[in-house]
Chain A
Amino acid sequence: MDPYALPALASAPAPSGLDAFIDDNFAGIADRIESVVFYEVSLGDVTFPVVVAWLLLAAVVFTLSFRFVNLRGFKHAIDLVRGKYTRPDEVGEVSHFQALATAVSGTVGLGNIAGVAVAITLGGPGATLWMIVAGLLAMSTKFTECTLGVKYRRVNPDGTVSGGPMFYLSRGLAERRMAGLGKVLAAVFAVFCILGSLGGGNAFQANQAFAQMRAVTGGEDGLLGGGAAGVLFGLLLAAVVGVVIIGGMWRIASVTDKLVPFMAVLYVTACVVVLLANASALPEAARLIVEGAFDTEAVAGGVVGVLIVGVQRAAFSNEAGLGSAPIAHSAVKTDRPVTEGYVALLEPFIDTVVICTMTALTIVVTGAYTQQGEEGVQLTSTAFETVLPWFDNVLALAVVLFAFSTQLAWSYYGAKATAYLSGESRVADTVYKVVFLAFVVIGAAASLGPIIAFSDSMIFAMSIPNLIGVYLLMGVVRRELREHEEGLRTGEVARVDA
């Protein structure tokens, strides 16, 4: 079995009726796209997709190049978020905390619940360790790309702020006399971002939300068991998303964004409860995770196979290197772009090193992963039920909420990419949003195999133009970092509470 080929994430029953029609017509296209994006190479007897190596390589390069900024910048990042360096003229504007919270609300989602379960199903407990390592390294990638996001953001004529890879690729590379390349990379990124926003940021979310809702309402024989239930659920979800993104009911978005951190804390607390109930099994779980990570006999294709599973799921969860986070971070009020880079490095830490690890420990410590036939959200749910029998309902609520907030975040990314490509055309904006809503329905209706293939492909494809640009602009980040560190040393950048 290919270590990275993804089978159905959730045990979605074989679709029938209308669901089957969408499924049949979607699967072929998805397969073809996947084989291109996840082009695999062989090194010795291990086969792996180039794009995963590409992300890992970037994280390692940025970590070494910025001398472990992911670790040594941690305390400074916390101080920035706490507002210790917020100057009086920055009061009332978007704070570091707010930029981080918005970005985290977009990232914390199904990857943290379902994705981790997939990693452990495929790679065993050992995948957890590689996921954590990948998360720690990814902090450097986020630091680098989000610094650039703020550095090259654009203040529009109407006073709003736009940022992200589209802008640092086009404007940043133009500064370095690579205007042509920059334009091409920015356009390619924007296209992938739009397609990724429809897949991983949308269809995948709708799919898992439906799978979990169906599971808690009695499975195939329950309320949502019928052939067209996926379509109906999708239409309902699309209606709510539509009210927000087309109807402009941003209050709903605002309420959701406030609920997500609350749900995340509730989720982590539930993990802690399960871990405490299984406290005696923790040392054994830790042993399984560490030994599994270096198990040359692992089913997933030895150490490299397990590593790839962990790295891929970490990347899918924290989005470092894909270029989505710089869009969310760029509205912050600061005149030192690198400060937002520091703050952004907390994102993979919260997402992957804390939340994903909690999920993984819960699954491993309860032994849920050894049961056959459980995948995705259901596996995580089973792990919780060993201690908290009623938790699947809470989890269903969390899944729907996380899915919804991730969809809103990605619709924003996609809309920004559309605006960039179309020159802020209102017609294009509306067309994009209508297509986005159609994909909510497709996601809920189609079975997961083709959906995940398509969404993974597009999301990961974003990293190609993004990271090429980030590599070329590393010098800019290095200069910004050096100036900031110099400022901290001389006291030019001083704490406001000192």
Chain B
Amino acid sequence: MAVVVGVDASEAGRRAVRFATRLRDVGDGRVVVAHVVPWSPFTVQSAEENERRSLTKAHEVEMAHRLVDPLVEQLRGEGVRAEAVVRHGHPAETLCALAREAGATHLVVGRTGESRVRSLLFGSTASNLIQIAEVPVTVVP
């Protein structure tokens, strides 16, 4: 029984991690720090983008690890059983899948304050998550 926390580069992501460590008492103490690289199999790309895709993906994964690894290191330093996960996919759906895989009791995300227009067009990860999550979701402001 873990807590899955979804982070991005924003400050709210850090606050979400802090909050998740407080929640861990209700579970087995594990905190999964996850970053999802937004990706869809149904976009259209040029041939050049395709031929370089493996490289681009590797780069995206590396950048994501630079984001989550320090957070995990810090938690471990504090004695928290933390692990880092980087995935590609639809952010909210992928976080839900991760929660399922980890047997998580909670999902925590930061509120990044996407603009109204953007939220209206694409929805925000937090609101998507609330609609589809199978476990309680906490959105940290």
Q: Is A bound to B? A: yes
The answer to the question of A220 belonging to the interface, with a C-beta cut-off of 8 Å to chain B, is no
Q: How many A-B residue pairs have CB under 8 A?
A: 86
Nearest CB on B from A101, distance (A): 5
Interface size classification for chain A: 35 or more
Interface 9-mer from A252-260, A287-295, A447-455, A461-469:
A252-260
Complex interface: chain A residues within 8 A of B55 (CB): 158-160
Are A257 and B46 within 8 A (Cβ)?
A: yes
Interface of A is mostly: helix
Cα of A93 to Cα of B55 in the assembled complex, Å:
9
Select one of B47, B60, B61 contacting A412, CB under 8 A: B47
Residues of B within 8 A of A (CB-CB), count: 24
Cα of A250 to Cα of B89 in the assembled complex, Å:
23
Are A94 and B50 within 8 A (Cβ)?
A: yes
Select one of B48, B51, B60 contacting A92, CB under 8 A: B60
Complex interface: chain B residues within 8 A of A161 (CB): 50-51, 54
The answer to the question of A12 belonging to the interface, with a C-beta cut-off of 8 Å to chain B, is no
Instruction: Please name the residue on chain A nearest to B61 by beta carbon.
Output: A92
Are A102 and B52 within 8 A (Cβ)?
A: no
Complex interface: chain A residues within 8 A of B61 (CB): 92
Cα of A260 to Cα of B88 in the assembled complex, Å:
26
Cα of A288 to Cα of B19 in the assembled complex, Å:
72
Within 8 A of B (CB), among A306-334: 327-328, 331-333
Question: How does the 8 Å CB contact mask read for A132-174 relative to B, with 1 for contact and 0 for none?
Answer: 0000000000000000000000010011111000000000000
The answer to the question of B140 belonging to the interface, with a C-beta cut-off of 8 Å to chain A, is no
Question: How does the 8 Å CB contact mask read for B30-50 relative to A, with 1 for contact and 0 for none?
Answer: 000000010101111111111
Are A97 and B58 within 8 A (Cβ)?
A: no
Nearest CB on A from B78, distance (A): 31
Complex interface: chain B residues within 8 A of A328 (CB): 47, 50
Are A261 and B44 within 8 A (Cβ)?
A: yes
Shortest 10 CB-CB contacts between residues of A and residues of B? A92-B88, A95-B41, A331-B50, A253-B46, A159-B55, A101-B44, A412-B47, A94-B53, A92-B57, A160-B51
CB within 8 Å of B: which residues of A? 83, 86, 91-99, 101-102, 105-106, 155, 158-162, 250, 253-254, 257-258, 260-261, 327-328, 331-333, 408-409, 412
